[in-house]
Structure 1
Amino acid sequence: MVVDRGASDALTEDETDRVFGALADATRRDILRRTLASDATVTQLAASYDMSYAAVQKHVAILEDAGLVTKRSRGRERCVYGNPDAMRRAQSLLNQYEQIWRGRVARLDALLADPEH
């Protein structure tokens, strides 16, 4: 199944699984939050957590595989940048689910307001 939000911006099921799988972990959500606010090296990120550099690097790799962050060279360092477009795509999917939910609530409200029932 492809989530349709316009042909060029649709998430496949695999992309959806990777994005929300990556976001399922609190450390990865925090790394994403930090890198959306400003770029950081993996070394800088690792200093913020009580885990090894390799563990933080693995979290970054999962976020990168999901398209939520990118790594770019800056001199001799590799900087991690959050990808706001990927977050917009995820938000768009959540908005679709919200519209489904709101439609159900509206139908329930109409049913409850109907004096015949």
Structure 2
Amino acid sequence: MADLFKALADGTRRIIMDELAQRDSQTLFEICGRLAMNHGLAMSRQAVSQHLAVLEEAGLVVSRREGRYKFHHLDTGPLRAIAQRWPQSTTED
């Protein structure tokens, strides 16, 4: 679970997750373009790729290859695991 919190701690990674939530199955090139256009984040493909690797390691992004292209998908399963670990308290103050 430490990998999950490390991945979520970075604002850029959360923005990448937001972009994948809005439009799933994107290539690295598409993600870079959306970060620049929608958020003013001009990052190298290598930097975005490193962020994606951290998200993949945490289980938040899953990638699949199709020919020359690698498509990235958001997986919210690990986030549900957090919510289940610490359910909302129903006690009153």
Residues 1-117 of structure 1 mapped to structure 2, 5 A cutoff: 16-37=1-22, 38-47=24-33, 48=35, 49-93=41-85, 96=86, 98-99=88-89, 102-103=90-91, 106=92, 109=93
Offset of residue 62 of structure 1: 0.2
> Which letter maps to 1:46?
C
Offset of residue 97 of structure 1: 5.8
How many residue pairs end up in the alignment? 86
* Percent of aligned pairs sharing the same letter: 31
**DSSP-derived class of the 1:72 partner:** strand
- Asked which structure has the greater RCO (Cα within 8 Å, sep 6+), the reply is 2
Cα separation, 1, equivalents of 2:83 and 2:14: 14
TM-score (norm. length: structure 1) = 0.65
> Which letter maps to 2:26?
A
Aligned-pair RMSD on alpha carbons?
1.7
The structure in which a higher percent of residues are helix is: 1
Cα separation, 1, equivalents of 2:78 and 2:21: 11
